[in-house]
Amino acid sequence: MRKKYLLICISLFAALFIYLFYRTGRTLVNEMLVHVISLDTYVRLKANIVSALPLSDTIIYSLPEALWIFCITLTSKPYYIKLNKRRFDCKFIPLIFCVGLEMLQLFHITRGRFDFMDIGLSVIFWILGGFVLKDKAEKRNIFTRPDANMVICLASYTIVYLAHVFK
């Protein structure tokens, strides 16, 4: 269990690092950081990091989503949703989310650019989180009494809001 949460923390931190220093400064998480450390400090820090650690476009634009998909897959695996008499395994929700977000971008319903690389990397990380890393926990209905694991699962879905780009 600790290994799973360590992987989640490292993945989210890596995605956060990329968003803070390599993506547009108009995301909510960047705005929050600027309020804490000032715009001048942020601009200098970002310039120093980008020059010291250059990253490829694939890492900058596709890896953060893939890491996020990995995290929500790990946190969703122990749960299912029961609709009528059918059980839907929650580990498939991240995959649907990933493809759905890219389709919304393709049809210009949301901001962003459709990219097959985003889908490809996300599918690879979904497979890693869903099938390669084993979870021995018994599956539970996500709509049962909440516990810490369920709160972490649901919170991991809300993290995408921090990457929202303002106009």
Model confidence pLDDT, tens digit, residues 40-71: 999 999 999 999 999 999 999 999 999 999 99
Token pair, residue 166, equals 């303002």
Alpha-carbon span 15 to 163, nearest angstrom: 10
- Confidence class for position 166, pLDDT limits 50, 70, 90: low
Q: What is the pLDDT of residue 135?
A: 76
pTM over the 0.85 mark: yes
Do residues 135 and 128 lie in contact, with contact meaning Cβ atoms separated by under 8 Å?
no
Please report, for residues 31, 54, 96, 166, the alpha-carbon distance to residue 111 in angstroms, rounded to integers and kept in the order given: 18, 25, 18, 9
**Beta bridge pairs of residue 83:** 86
Q: What are phi and psi of 27, to 5 degrees?
A: -85, 160
Token pair, residue 143, equals 């709509």
Domain coordinates of the chain in residue numbers? 2-163
